[in-house]
Structures are given as C-alpha cells and as structure tokens.
Structure 1
Amino acid sequence: MNNSHLHLVVNHLPIIFPIVGIIILFLGIFTKSEVTKRNGYTIFILGALASIAAMATGENAEDAIEKLQGVSKDLIHIHEEAAELFAGFSYVTGGFSLLALFSSWKNYSISRFAPYIVGLLAIITLFFAQKAGTTGGEIRHTEIRSGFSANQQENIGTDDKKTSDRDHD
C-alpha cells in the first residue's frame, strides 16, 4: 500500500464519524439519554483522531499524486486548504466532546448545555467536511468538477475507445 492509497483509506473516516455522531447525539438529546449522548461524544473524539491520520497521510499523498498527468496543483492546493480548515474544526469538536464526556460522567451542570454546543460545532464541522471531501474528489474525478458536462464525458469515453482500438491494430 503506497502513501496515496493509505490517504484514500483514512480520509473518509473524518467525514463519516461526524455524520454518525450527529445522528447519535441528536437521538440522545431527543430521548434525554446521557449514555447515548456519551456515545455521540465518543464518536466525535474518534473523528478528531481520524482527522489526525488523514492529515498525516495527506502530504505524502500529495507528493505522489502531483507527478501524475492531468492532476492540477491548484486543485491540490484548494483541497489542502479546505482539509486544514476541516481538520481544525474536527479537532475543536473532538476537544469539546472530550470535555462534554467528562462533564457528563461527573454530572457537572455544564453537561446540560454541552450536547447543544457540541451539536452546533459538529454541524459547522460537517460543512467544512463537505468542502474538503468535494475538493479532494475533484482532484481525480473530473466528472464532479464545476463546468463538467455530459458531452465531455461522452468524448472522454470516445477518445478512450479510439485509443484502445488503435492499440489493438
């Protein structure tokens, strides 16, 4: 497994964890279950840890992929900036979740407000997760870039077929 592959393996986790965490946290708020809220906090903490892994593998993935034909360094830079912002919010959400988890266990009065603060942070984090995920996908998936049309997709398929046919002649 090379650096690019490792980044592709871990980079989805920081996006998935907050989605699952929000669902569980809101379920805990709705049912007034501290145990469920604690599970949500734990998932946000795992999301922050997964962000560390994604950021740690990103630079090596960049070094490997920027040499490939058709890869835009501008798109890589845009993704890198979006990922750094997302990671920052993920760390903050994970940190507040750690405090919320502790205050819930100790039954501190702040634990009444903690799920709402963490929930708001998680929603903001997901906004930036979407940006980081989309910009990362645009690096190699031309079909999701703005301005891409179905005609371009058809031409890509046609060009590939012509090249393929020439290779067999």
Structure 2
Amino acid sequence: MIKVNLSALTHAKVGTRSSTVLDLGHVVVDDIELAFLRGTLEFTRVDNGILVQGILDSAVKTECIRCLTPFFSPIRIELEDVISLPGSELTSEQPVRVHEDGWVDFSPLIRQYAWVNLPLNPVCSPDCQGLCPVCGENRNLGECHCDTEPSTDPRWSVLKELKDSVSP
C-alpha cells in the first residue's frame, strides 16, 4: 500500500497546497511489480476534492518480447487526478478517496497510471537475440545448432523450376 496523510487538506480552503516525496523500494500493486517508486506528489485543494499531480520514476517487471526473459523496464509515471473527499462514492473515474482518518491509499491510482505507461514492446536489451525459431533456445545464453535457413515448401518447387527455365 502506498499511503499518504492528507487530513490537513480535507478541511483546508480551496487553493491550499501541500507536497510529499516518495522514495519507496520494491512495491507490488495487484498485478504490477515495481522495483522502486521515486518522485514528488503535489496536492492542491479544489472544489470537488484534492488535485494530485506528480512525476514518478520507476521500473516495472515485464517480459522481453524477443526472449521471454523477465526484467525490469524503466517507466515514468506522470499523474494528474482528483481525489474524492471523505464520504463520497468511489467511481471508475475516481478510484481513490480520502478516508475518514485522512489517509489516502494511492495504490489503485499508481497501478492505473503504471499500466498506461507500460512499454508496448519491451526488449531486455537492444542486442537481444531472442529465441531460436526451431528449438526455442534462448540465443542470448548460448548458440544453438539448428538450421535456421528458411526451407522452401515443396509445393513451390514447380514454380521454382518454371522460373529457372525462363531465367537466362
């Protein structure tokens, strides 16, 4: 859980500001695993709640699309959202609210923004060799001795013979 106490802002006048620095180690939020979470969150009291803005740096555990090896990929989470005040209903658009005791659990919000910032095609390193298409061996760990030359489908042999007979 990623908790921050905002009790001072719940009763403050509109425009009141506050901030907090996050520097957390390993964090697991439901189905997202983060190696760390660092950054500053700024809070501003607004009419309908508390506006939270911030930029958080992290590394999310993901899987390389080439070799399927799990690794931590760096991400930057830029968040801006309004937190509901105590007593208000949670909605899909506002999944976080200040609890009666003044504490806010930012886990659902961090999870939501982390999912949006996940890399589309994560690669463990630019020179990743991927898996052998024949035997499935991870070519980063060693070389397999499979014949990876594309084999010609025998059904195309008639066309190849025709092409060879026409070519000079």
Q: TM bucket by the smaller chain?
A: under 0.3
Q: Which has the larger radius of gyration?
A: 2
Normalising by structure 1, report the TM-score: 0.27
Bigger share in strand:
2
Bigger share in helix:
1
Structure of higher RCO (CA pairs closer than 8 Å, 6+ residues apart):
1
